[in-house]
Structure 1
Amino acid sequence: MSEGLVVLVRSIIGFFSLLIFAKLLGKEQISQLTFFDYVLGITIGSIAATLTTDLSSRAWPHFVGLLGWCVLGYLMEYITMKWRYAAKYIEGEPTIVIMNGKIMESTLKKTKYRASDVMELLRNKDIFDLTQVDFAIIEPNGQLSVLRKPEYEPLTAMDISIKKNSSGISTELIYDGILFEENLRQLNKDRKWLLNQLKTHGIKDISEVFLATLNPAGSLYIDKYEDHIKKVTDIGDYDGPY
């Protein structure tokens, strides 16, 4: 019972210590997570866990270690903000991996990236064709920034001088075969209207639908359980065991 109480007290100390230190270190730990930030966060969390559960030693050395790591992390953050050269070596700097549509092979080797890694990051940017890319830059946090070639840039309403109304946020009407009637009412629709819409898509029953959404502009998206896709495209770069 006494050991449980000690663990509880240590947990409270460790929890609020981490809360205070996280506030001091700022939101960059989440929003711009570099490799250094990642290692720092894991180490601080590990020390906090040891502070909580290691009853074979006193709590204060672990707390001092926790305080030391957090203070050093804060100092590194302050130094990188004030001294650009330090930030370059501690946090890294942006690296161009595609320039003028050409892959920079030597840069890929230096950054320990493969061509397949870049392709994956491009797909995350909704780019599935390398011929559309003018510049691609790997940021210090590992994310990829992409500049498309001018002819592949999406046309905006401003480009053609037209006024475009907001489509709003899509609302789930059906998920996993279950109808959300409250969401229908919020959009001033009813069950009869939805059933008629489903019939126009060849759907006889709500249970056939995996997901259906509707936005305020009236755009209805429907995905059935049976998609009738005969062959799924394989985009892997080698034949694996599966």
Structure 2
Amino acid sequence: MNEGLVVIVRSIIGFFTMLIFAKILGKQQISQLTFFDYILGITIGSIAATLTTDLSSRAWPHWVGLLTWALLGYLMEYISTKWRYAGKYLEGEPTIVIMKGKIMEDAMKKMNFRATDIMELLRDKDVFDLNEVDFAIIEPNGKLSVLKKPELQPVTCNDMNITKNEMGISTELIYDGILIEENLRQLNKTKDWLFKVLESRGIKNVSEVFLATLNPGGSLYIDLYKDHIKKVLDIGDYKGPY
């Protein structure tokens, strides 16, 4: 019973310690998870687990070790941010593995990459033919960035000399049957305008609307509680005879 209580107390200490460290280190580690960051995260987690369950030793040495690893990790991030050359050494640099459609064998050997590894990463980018690739770059976090050959890149509005209206981000006007007047004012719209639009669509009351959004381009989306869809598609797995 006493051991269980000690484990609970240690778990609480370890949990909130990890929560604080995650706030300090987490964003950088999630956005750019280099190999060093990966090892750092595993080590800190392992120390926290030992702090929780190793009752043969006192808790404070484990906590000091946890604090030391987290501080060193934060220090490395700080150095990488302040000094670019240190950042290059600690976090690595992007490496070109395909240039002008040609595979850079020497660069791949330095990173211990095989051709099959590159092809797997290309397939993850929906590229199944090496002839489509102009440039391919291995980022410091191990991800592959691909630039297709010019003739295979998607056509844009600029290519077609087409002017496209700005769509912007949609803003909620009605949510769960409640009118949000502040958002209406931000979009320079009035309640009378909204009521007329709803009436034109056969909607008599705001309470009938589950969600209504409007973007700066003027696109209005309205979803009702009663959608009048007779049959809802089921795209899940077969549920079996029970």
TM-score, length-normalised on structure 1? 0.69
Structure 2 distance, partners of 1:188, 1:123, is 40
How many equivalent pairs are there?
Answer: 184
Residue 26 of structure 1: CA displacement?
3.9
Residue 164 of structure 1: CA displacement?
8.1
The residue that corresponds to 2:42 in the other structure is: 42
Structure 2 distance, partners of 1:145, 1:164, is 29
Structure 2 distance, partners of 1:30, 1:133, is 28
The residue that corresponds to 1:219 in the other structure is: none
Structure 2 distance, partners of 1:187, 1:69, is 55
Aligned pair in 2 of structure 1 residues 78, 65: CA closer, same or farther (>3 Å)?
same
Aligned pair in 2 of structure 1 residues 189, 138: CA closer, same or farther (>3 Å)?
farther
The residue that corresponds to 1:28 in the other structure is: 28
Aligned pair in 2 of structure 1 residues 164, 186: CA closer, same or farther (>3 Å)?
farther
The residue that corresponds to 2:210 in the other structure is: none
SS at match of 2:134: strand
CA deviation map 1:166-192 (0-9, x unaligned): 8xxxxxxxxxxxxxxxxx976945225
The residue that corresponds to 1:155 in the other structure is: 155
The residue that corresponds to 1:144 in the other structure is: 144
SS at match of 2:11: helix
SS at match of 1:191: coil
Aligned pair in 2 of structure 1 residues 189, 149: CA closer, same or farther (>3 Å)?
farther
- Give unpaired runs (5+ residues) of structure 2: 168-222
Structure 2 distance, partners of 1:190, 1:43, is 52
Structure 1 distance, partners of 2:226, 2:118, is 41
The residue that corresponds to 1:7 in the other structure is: 7
Q: Which runs of 4+ in 1 moved over 3 A?
A: 162-166, 184-189
The residue that corresponds to 1:240 in the other structure is: none
Residue 158 of structure 1: CA displacement?
3.8
Look at both structures and tell me which one has the larger radius of gyration over its CA atoms: 2
Residue 28 of structure 1: CA displacement?
1.3
Compute the RMSD of aligned alpha carbons: 2.6
Alpha-carbon contact 1:44-1:66 (below 8 Å) kept: yes
The residue that corresponds to 2:207 in the other structure is: none
Aligned pair in 2 of structure 1 residues 20, 165: CA closer, same or farther (>3 Å)?
closer
Residue 163 of structure 1: CA displacement?
4.0
Alpha-carbon contact 1:157-1:164 (below 8 Å) kept: no
Pick which of 87-96 and 21-30 moved more: 21-30
Residue 129 of structure 1: CA displacement?
1.3
Alpha-carbon contact 1:97-1:108 (below 8 Å) kept: yes
- Identity among equivalent positions (%) equals 70
Structure 1 distance, partners of 2:62, 2:50, is 7
Alpha-carbon contact 1:137-1:144 (below 8 Å) kept: yes
CA deviation map 1:90-128 (0-9, x unaligned): 111100000011001111111111111111111111111
- Give unpaired runs (5+ residues) of structure 1: 167-183, 195-205, 212-223, 226-242
Aligned pair in 2 of structure 1 residues 189, 132: CA closer, same or farther (>3 Å)?
farther
Aligned pair in 2 of structure 1 residues 46, 125: CA closer, same or farther (>3 Å)?
same
Structure 1 distance, partners of 2:42, 2:5, is 26
TM-score, length-normalised on structure 2? 0.69
Amino acid across the alignment from 2:229:
D
